[in-house]
Amino acid sequence: MRKFLTLLFLIFLFASATIAGAQQTLGSLNGTVLDASGAAVPGSAVTVTDASIGITRTTKAQSNGFFQIFNLPVGTYKVQATHEGFDTAVLSGIEVQEAQAKTVTMTLKVGQITTSVEVTANPLLNATDDTNGYTLDKEQILLTPLATGSFTQLAVLSPGVSAELLSNLDSNSGLGNQPIWANGQRDTSNTFQVNGVDATNLFNGKSSSGSNSQRYAFNIGQSAPVGGAAGVGTSVFGSNGNSLPSPPPEFLQELRVNTSMYDAQQGATSGAQIDANTASGTNTLHGQVFGSFANNSMNAAPFFFRQEYLLGQQGIGAFPESLANPYLRRWTTGATLGGPIIKDKLFFFLAYQHRSNSDQATGISQMNVPIGLTDDRSVAGIDAAANSYAGPGVAPFTGTIGPIAQALLNAKLPNGQYLIPSSQNSSPYAYRVPNVTLIGTSSLVADQADAGLDWDVTSADRLSVKYYFQTDPVNKPYGFSQTGGFPVTQNNGPR
């Protein structure tokens, strides 16, 4: 039975690796071994070690002192060079990053091989190729404050990259992904990868969680004005950027942003090449629990919402006091855990985050109905509503209400309210001044999870399986109609 389970486990690993294809999430390390005079020391033994995952690789320096070690898992390494007649040289704290070659120089001093000289240093300059970009490790990612909690904000740390905060607090902004411009290219010209898998938005290439322009999607953009200010991005169809796989910062091991002079495995688009790699387990059991909470309790009332409420108090329009400072709530909670299953051999990493955004400011609906429309939906009541439009120079209504119109006016929602609401203000009709305001809440509920398994099959071979899950639907109560009963949901998120 044990052999069968072992075989089944191996089949699962190799099948998963086949599905993943040939994604490159490894790095390399090269350098030169020199003596104190700067001459090459050929034949030097070079050993690189990452004790956190039990990885050790060795090689010999060539006749010119050059050495190179490929296919190193991302991590922090110690490099050691030895040669007969010289002290042992050790460099520690060398960060190996995805798809990049880290270059070091090992200097050997005349002495005994048993004497060791250790230097802690991490070269920041890419001395191997001319790619323009920047890579952040896990510590840098966690120490960088992010206004929206999205890794896309980190892209601005790379040369030539700019981004902008999202334009409003709409629930479309959900995961907080921002539009990114690299070297003047459009924000639709970037390539995104997660763990080496292309995750670029196939719909329009954008990374922004909320789109406001109908240039990218129809039936989005300007909404009905509130207090004279037009809302934007309030359609669920503008939230397609939330489909971009967006691992939270706590999930990430490193983030790489290259902007120009890409190598052969990049450059599918003319903008930035953005690679996010999720964390892996090590020989040390490590984990965290995290969360955040924010609401409108300490917010100032938005000017235009406050203005609409004050006008309503004077009989101009209808706007409840509860919307003067509209309800807003955002909270996230999550946890990560990683460590060894078999020391120096098999490692795991698990992570989960739940996010909930609720927003009344973009969940309301405003409209005009006849000022005489009340909850009396009898024939006489509807005739009175029709006549309420009559004024100087307008003849009273003398026709007959059709059966379809009468049925619509009497239709009710499951909560008992009329489908077509009654007037909330009896003041005469005024242009662009709604006399009905319906209160609703737009929402985004996101679940994100990550799982990883790393197996050092031999001293030179490592098998990694990683799975990322994300679902983050956006719901608007009045996304399809000004009246209630027709909510719209866009199911964002890859699985």
How does pLDDT run across 207-221, given as a tens digit for each residue?
A: 777 765 555 555 555
E-assigned strand segments in 261-390? 273-278, 286-295, 328-342, 346-359, 365-367
**β-bridge mates for residue 350, sequence order:** 337, 451
User: Which amino acid makes up residue 33?
Assistant: V
Spatial separation of the C-alpha atoms in residues 263 and 132, rounded to whole Å: 10
Residue 308 and residue 135: Cα distance in Å, rounded? 48
Question: According to the model, what pLDDT value does residue 155 have?
Answer: 85
**What pLDDT does residue 220 have?**
58
Which H helix or E strand runs over 407? helix 403-410
Across-strand partners of 443? 358, 475
pLDDT of residue 213: 56
Structural domains present in the chain: 2-120 (2.60.40.10), 132-363+441-490 (2.170.130.10)
What are 3-60's pLDDT values in tens digits? 544 444 444 444 444 344 445 578 889 999 999 889 999 999 999 999 888 889 999 9
3-class secondary-structure state, position 199: coil
Helix crossing, 379-387 with 403-410: angle to 10°? Answer: 90
- Residue in the block written with tokens 């902007």: 259
Nearest to 369 by CA among 393, 385, 346: 385
**64 — alpha (psi -120 to 50), left (phi > 0) or beta?**
alpha
Residue 337: the pLDDT is: 97
pLDDT of residue 17: 43
Q: Which spans in 52-195 are helix H?
A: 138-143
Q: Is 45 helix (H, G, I), strand (E, B) or coil?
A: strand
Given this model, what pLDDT does residue 352 score? Answer: 97
- The list of the chain residues with pLDDT below 50 reads 1-2, 4-22, 232-233
Spatial distance between the Cα atoms of 367 and 358, rounded to a whole number of angstroms: 23
The pLDDT assigned to 332 comes to: 93
Burial (CB count within 10 angstroms: exposed 0-12, middle 13-18, buried 19+), residue 403: exposed
CA distance to 94, 286, 332, 350, 354, per residue, from 289 (Å): 29, 11, 11, 12, 12
